[in-house]
């Protein structure tokens, strides 16, 4: 029998909140404990498998009110913002099971695509305090300048006094940046801060609500001076980045090649993660003579191959590609060619792929579906895929396997410590 019709636009009444005892079965993909209640999953942040908790449950979400029985894998979190800050989900989990969780994310994504028999290595870790790239938010709110990451499942900014994830030189900028932005931002205004660091120093970018006036620009360049930043740039409302202080390079090298990434450009999130990925790329491509580096950025992997192969780097961002090309020119690398191209709209064609004996692809989170379809129809002997999204990597891997490639091995790489994100590298060979 059908019930009385609901008035238009009114949602069915949600079950009222209730406090209840729950048993946590597993960790979900967001690093959140999952219990079952009335046959449905309930997500309880801050819990671990095997724990018994009391939680206030509303909809499919539970907020822990009491930890009745703790997991033996539970440890004290490293940061006093843990729980409120949305940057970390898993500081309360011991290191080994934490790394195993990250590996499981990769295994599960592959299994869902029927690739459960692929050899997946142990997660290559990046230690806490090693993140060299981060985006923070700031807001001038009621006389207080908030600076930090967004809160867990919220748009509020958690004002960070510390951040054990970041490199110490980046964490040390939190307090001075707060002071700077307090003077710079008008009431109610917000800004986005992009931090990157290399051996030569820090690159600080500010996305501001308006073009700074002369006095503010002087303040910015004085800040760069006092904090000994390598570079400070700003941009407002869709403008290209404008340098406020360009004091030196941040000192990055890919292999032996010095590279100056563009303001706000992509950079692998930790030096440790980049080293593991680069070593795996170099190993997988040993012996290749003509390599295509697709989604090349400013050359993290391609330039690290050095003289081993003729390199064709393809990338849609002109600033990144320009940085790669100038680095290759300065280093006298005549074997590097570059091509600006949107690989989603215009993937390399099967005929174009014929000239390569290896192809490396490292797309953004959405993956490389269009390019992979052409690779699957190609005869390139060796492929290497790097990804920050196991689900789209597994989807693309399925296309390649169906096209006759073998996914030989996958290595999970953790560059976003204590978050539920994981990266990976996989190598394929033609069967
Ligand atoms: C995950 S980053 C990898 C960059 C580089 N491999 C590295 O490790 O530094 C992905 C790169 O793909 C580029 N990109 C995004 N969409 C693209 C597209 N449709 N075609 C070509 N390049 C694209 C981005 O600009 C970015 O440089």
Provide the 3-class DSSP secondary structure of residue 337. strand
CA 392 / ligand 1 centre spacing (Å): 15
Instruction: Tell whether the model's pLDDT for residue 6 goes beyond 50.
Output: no
**Same domain membership, residue 202 and residue 320:** no
**Same domain membership, residue 289 and residue 177:** no
The residue nearest atom 5 of ligand 1, judged by CA position, is 297
**Same domain membership, residue 343 and residue 311:** yes
CA 225 / ligand 1 centre spacing (Å): 32
Give the phi and the psi of residue 395 in degrees, each rounded to 5: -60, -45
CA 210 / ligand 1 centre spacing (Å): 29
CATH number of the domain enclosing 45 = 2.40.50.140
Q: Which domain holds residue 211?
A: 133-246
| Percent of residues, the chain, with pLDDT higher than 70 | 97
Instruction: Please report whether residue 32 resides in a domain.
Output: yes
Establish whether residue 261 lines the binding site of ligand 1, counting it when its CB lies within 6 angstroms of any ligand atom.
no
pTM score, whole prediction: 0.93
Q: What DSSP line would sit under 143-206, residue for residue?
A: TEEEEEPBBTTSSSBP--S--TTB-HHHHTTHHHHHHHHHHHSPTT-EEEEEEEEETTEEEEEE
Instruction: Tell whether the model's pLDDT for residue 5 goes beyond 80.
Output: no
Residues marked as catalytic = 388
Instruction: Please report whether residue 353 resides in a domain.
Output: yes
Instruction: Please report whether residue 10 resides in a domain.
Output: no
Pocket test for ligand 1, best of 133, 279, 295, 343 (most atoms within 8 A of CB): 295
Among 325, 331, 323, 330, which Cα is nearest to 307's?
Answer: 331
Structure tokens, 287: 């012996």
Establish whether residue 423 lines the binding site of ligand 1, counting it when its CB lies within 6 angstroms of any ligand atom.
no
Instruction: Please report whether residue 13 resides in a domain.
Output: no
**Same domain membership, residue 408 and residue 317:** yes
**Same domain membership, residue 301 and residue 161:** no
Q: pLDDT for 356-372, tens place per residue?
A: 999 999 999 999 999 99
Question: Contact, 217 vs 233, CB < 8 A?
Answer: no
Establish whether residue 321 lines the binding site of ligand 1, counting it when its CB lies within 6 angstroms of any ligand atom.
no
Q: Rounded distance, CA 315 to CA 295, Å?
A: 5
Establish whether residue 296 lines the binding site of ligand 1, counting it when its CB lies within 6 angstroms of any ligand atom.
yes
The residue nearest atom 12 of ligand 1, judged by CA position, is 295
Instruction: Tell whether the model's pLDDT for residue 30 goes beyond 70.
Output: yes
Instruction: Please report whether residue 110 resides in a domain.
Output: yes
**Same domain membership, residue 212 and residue 231:** yes
Quote the number of domains for the chain.
3
CA 293 / ligand 1 centre spacing (Å): 10
Residue 425 has a CB neighbour count (10 Å cut-off) of: 26
**Same domain membership, residue 424 and residue 276:** yes
CATH number of the domain enclosing 152 = 2.40.50.1070
Establish whether residue 425 lines the binding site of ligand 1, counting it when its CB lies within 6 angstroms of any ligand atom.
no
94-98 long-range contacts (CB < 8 A, ≥24 apart) are: 95/125, 97/73, 98/418
**Same domain membership, residue 223 and residue 209:** yes
CATH number of the domain enclosing 328 = 3.40.50.150
Instruction: Please report whether residue 66 resides in a domain.
Output: yes
**Same domain membership, residue 300 and residue 424:** yes
Q: Rounded distance, CA 152 to CA 44, Å?
A: 12
The residue nearest atom 25 of ligand 1, judged by CA position, is 317
Instruction: Please report whether residue 145 resides in a domain.
Output: yes
Q: pLDDT for 128-166, tens place per residue?
A: 999 999 999 999 998 899 999 999 888 899 999 999 999
Mean pLDDT of the chain: 95
């Amino acid at each position: 029998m059908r019930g009385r019709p609901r008035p238009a636009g009114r949602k069915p009444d949600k079950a009222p909140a209730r406090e209840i005892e729950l048993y946590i079965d597993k960790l979900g993909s967001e690093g959140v404990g999952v219990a079952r209640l009335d046959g449905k999953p309930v997500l309880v942040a801050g819990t671990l498998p095997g724990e018994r908790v009391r939680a206030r449950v509303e909809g499919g979400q539970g907020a822990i009110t009491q930890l009745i029985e703790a997991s033996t894998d539970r440890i004290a979190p490293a940061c006093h913002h843990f729980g409120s800050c949305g940057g970390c989900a898993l500081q309360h989990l011991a290191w080994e099971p934490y790394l195993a969780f990250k590996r499981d994310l990769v295994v599960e994504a592959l299994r869902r695509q029927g690739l459960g028999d692929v050899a997946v290595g142990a997660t290559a870790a990046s230690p806490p305090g090693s993140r060299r790239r981060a985006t923070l938010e700031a807001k001038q709110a009621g006389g207080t300048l908030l600076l930090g990451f967004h809160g867990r499942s919220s748009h509020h900014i958690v004002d960070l006094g510390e951040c054990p994830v970041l490199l110490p030189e980046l964490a040390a900028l939190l307090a001075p940046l707060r002071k700077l932005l307090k003077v710079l931002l008008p009431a109610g205004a917000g800004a986005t801060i992009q931090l990157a660091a290399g051996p030569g120093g820090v690159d600080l970018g500010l996305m501001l609500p308006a073009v700074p006036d002369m006095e503010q620009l002087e303040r910015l360049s004085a800040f760069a001076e006092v904090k000994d930043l390598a570079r400070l740039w700003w941009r407002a409302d869709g403008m290209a980045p404008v340098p406020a202080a360009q004091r030196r390079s941040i000192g990055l090298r890919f292999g032996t090649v010095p590279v100056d990434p563009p303001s706000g450009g992509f950079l692998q999130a930790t030096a440790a993660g980049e080293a593991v990925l680069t070593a795996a790329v170099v190993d997988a491509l040993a012996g290749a003579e003509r390599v295509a580096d697709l989604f090349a950025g400013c050359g993290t992997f391609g330039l690290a191959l050095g003289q081993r192969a003729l390199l064709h780097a393809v990338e849609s961002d002109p600033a990144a590609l320009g940085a790669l090309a100038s680095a290759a020119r300065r280093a006298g690398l005549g074997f590097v060619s570059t091509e600006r191209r949107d690989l989603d709209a215009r993937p390399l064609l099967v005929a174009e792929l014929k000239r390569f004996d290896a192809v490396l692809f490292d797309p953004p989170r959405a993956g490389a579906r269009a390019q992979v379809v052409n690779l699957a129809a190609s005869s390139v002997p060796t492929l290497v895929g790097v990804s920050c999204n196991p689900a789209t990597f597994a989807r693309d891997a399925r296309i390649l396997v169906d096209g006759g490639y073998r996914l030989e091995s996958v290595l999970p790489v953790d560059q976003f410590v204590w978050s539920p994100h994981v990266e990976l590298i996989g190598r394929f060979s033609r069967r």
